[in-house]
Amino acid sequence: MPYEAVIGMEVHAQLITESKMFCHCSSAYASAPPNSHTCPVCLGMPGMLPLANRRAVEATVMMGLALHCAIPLFSKFDRKNYMYPDLPKGYQISQYDMPFARNGSITVPLEQGIKTIRIRRVHLEEDTAKLTHQGGYTLIDFNRSGVPLIEIVTESDIRTAEEAWRYLVALRSILRYLGIGSGNMEEGAMRCEVNISLRPVGREELGTKVEVKNMNSFRAVRQAIAYEIERQTRLLEQGERVEQVTMGWDEANHRTVFQRSKEGAEDYRYFPEPDLPPIIWTEADIDAIRARLPELPDAKLKRLIEQYALKADDAYLLADERATADYFEVAAQACAGVVEAQTVANWLLSELLRLMRESGQELSANPVTAGCLAELLKIVSRGEINATVAKEVLAEMVSSGKSAPEIIQTRGLKQISDADQLRQMVEQVIAANGQAAQQYRDGKDQALRFLIGQVMRQTRGQANVSIVESLLRELLAR
C-alpha cells in the first residue's frame, strides 16, 4: 500500500538585536566568554521585571507580514512552565493563545510547480541558556538566556523531505531579506523540529505523529525526514505500529534514534505573563511596520523573471539572497542593450559565485563590482576576447582586483579575429590531424569539435571560435 507523509514544522529563529528580549544584556552570546552577558533578569532572580524589546516585537510582526499572516490587534505574552537547568526562572516567557501573527502562507518552488504551505502562527519568546555536558556535570552558560527567538509553525501541509528543505530555504531567505535573522542552522541561529506521520494515500485521517529533533543543518533536516519516512513505511508494511515518540537525528550514523516516549505529554501550565502588559496595535501601527518591508523573495523572483526574461531556476537562485539579486540587477542594467540579462545571470551564477565560494569571499565585499562584471561581459560581446579567456580574466579580477581591460592589455589576451592569421593555423591543424579531418569528411560532426579544440589550444584560447569553425568547414570541404 503506498503511503504519504504528513509533515508539520516548527522553526525557531533567533532575531538579530543588540540587546536581549527582556533586559539590557548584549545578545551577542556566541563570541562572549561564558556567563559574561547576564543580569538578574536573564538569570531569573526573584522579583526582577522584564521589559520587552521593541525591535524584537516589531521584527516578529514584520516576519508575520512577510508570511502573509493576519496581525491580531491584541496580543500578549504567557509563561510556559517547565523545569530544566537551561531555564533559570522555571518558565519561559513565550506566547500561547494570542501570538503576534497567525494564518499566513509561504510559497516554495518545486519541480511540479509552486507549492503553498500554510503558516499557523508566528510568536515571540526568549531563548534558553546553553548547556554542555561534561563528565557528571551539566555546564550552563546564561549568555544565550533571554536572546529573542521567534517560532514559526506550519500547518501539516508538507509532504516530502524536499518540500521541507525548500521551506527552510525560503524561510531563511525571508529572515535575511528582512534583516531580522541569519537563519544559520549550523550556528544554532535557526533550529527546527519536524513532526511526521504516515497515512495511506487518499486517506483523510492522520497516522501517529513522530517528532524529530537535533538537526543542525539544512541537509540534516532533509536526510532525517527521508530516513523517518522510510522507517515508518517499513514498520507499517510489516504490520507494526508507529509509536508516538520523539526521535533525534544521529548525524554520525545517518539515522533517527529514539529519544523519549511522548506518554504523559508535556504539561506546561501556560498562563498570562503578569509582568508584561499586552501589546495593542492600531491599524496605523501595522501599516507603518508594513511600509518598512523590502521587496520579498517571492515578489523579487516574479519580477526578475518578468523584467529580465530569466529562466525560472536562475531567477530563483538569484532571488535567494538579496545581495545577489541586487548585484545582478546592477550588472544587468549596466549591460542593457548590449548583453542579455540571461547571459549576465549565467556568468554571475556559474562563474562569479563559484569563484566566491572558492576564495571564501562575500559577493558584496569582493573587488569585482557589478560594474566590473558588466565591463567584462561587454568586452566579450564585442568579440575582443572569447568566453574561455573571459573566465580566466574574471578569476584574475577576483584575485588581483584589477579591471578586465587592464588584465587583457598586460597579458595580451585579445582575441585573434584576423582571418589570414587563423587560416594558417587551421591549415596546420588539419595537416597534423589527418584522421580527424577524414572522419569529418566521412560525416562525423564530432570530429569538427575536436579540430576546433586543437586550434584553440594552439592559440591558448584566444582564437575567435566562429571564424575558426567557418574556416575549418571551408578548408575541409575542398
**Given the rule CB under 8 A, which residues bind other proteins?**
17-19, 24-27, 33-40, 43, 51-57, 76, 81-85, 98, 131-142, 259-260, 267, 269, 272, 274, 276-280
Q: Which is nearer to other proteins, 53 or 195 (CB)?
A: 53
State in angstroms the smallest separation of the CB of 310 from other proteins. Answer: 38
Select the binding partner of residue 131 from Zn ion, other proteins, none (C-beta < 5 to 8 A, by kind): other proteins
The 8-class DSSP code of residue 265 comes to: -
Q: How many residues does the chain have?
A: 478
Nearer to other proteins by C-beta: 93 or 317? 93
Q: Which is nearer to other proteins, 6 or 43 (CB)?
A: 43
123 vs 166, beta carbon nearer other proteins: 123
Determine the Cα–Cα distance for residues 43 and 88; give it in Å rounded to an integer. Answer: 6
Answer for the pair 352, 329: CB distance below 8 angstroms, yes or no: no
Q: How far is the CB of 85 from other proteins (least distance, A)?
A: 5
Core vs surface per residue 439-466: b (16+ CB within 10 A) or e: bbeeeeeebbebbbebbbeebebbbbee
Residue 17: contacted member of other proteins, Zn ion, none (CB under 5 to 8 Å, by partner type): other proteins
Please, what is the minimum distance in Å from the beta carbon of residue 129 to other proteins?
A: 9
Answer with the entry of Zn ion, other proteins, none that 457 interacts with (C-beta below 5 to 8 A by kind): none
Nearest to 20 by CA among 46, 47, 43: 43
- The DSSP output letter for 463 is B
Which of Zn ion, other proteins, none sits in contact with 27, Cβ below 5 to 8 A by type?
other proteins
Output the smallest distance, CB 377 to other proteins, in A.
Answer: 43
Q: Which spans of this chain sit near Zn ion (rule: CB under 5 A)?
A: 23, 25, 39, 41-42
Cβ closer to other proteins: 114 or 257?
257
List the single partner that 289 binds among other proteins, Zn ion, none, CB under 5 to 8 Å by kind: none
Grid cell for residue 429: 591543424
In the complex, the smallest distance separating the C-beta of residue 89 from other proteins, rounded to whole angstroms, is 13
Nearer CB in complex with other proteins: 122/425: 122
Handedness of CA 419, 420, 425, 427 (dihedral sign): positive
Cα–Cα dist 392/371, whole Å: 18
Q: Count Cα atoms within 13 angstroms, Cβ side, for 8.
A: 18
Partner from other proteins, Zn ion, none contacting 256, C-beta within 5 to 8 A by type: none
Instruction: Give bridge partners of residue 279 from the DSSP assignment.
Output: 75
Question: Of 41 and 229, which has the nearer Cβ to Zn ion?
Answer: 41
For other proteins, give the closer residue by CB, 91 or 316.
91
Smallest distance, Å, CB 134 to other proteins?
7
Task: Tell me the C-alpha to C-alpha distance, in Å, between residue 384 and each of 74, 224, 247, 380, 457.
Answer: 64, 51, 60, 6, 18
To other proteins, the closest distance from the beta carbon of 60 in angstroms equals 12
Q: Which of 121, 129, 145 is nearest to 22 (CA)?
A: 145
Cβ distance 321 to 353 under 8 Å?
Answer: no
Q: Which does 364 bind (CB under 5 to 8 A by kind): other proteins, Zn ion, none?
A: none
* Minimum distance from residue 83 beta carbon to other proteins (Å): 5
Q: Which residues have CB under 8 Å from 45's CB, separation 6+?
A: none
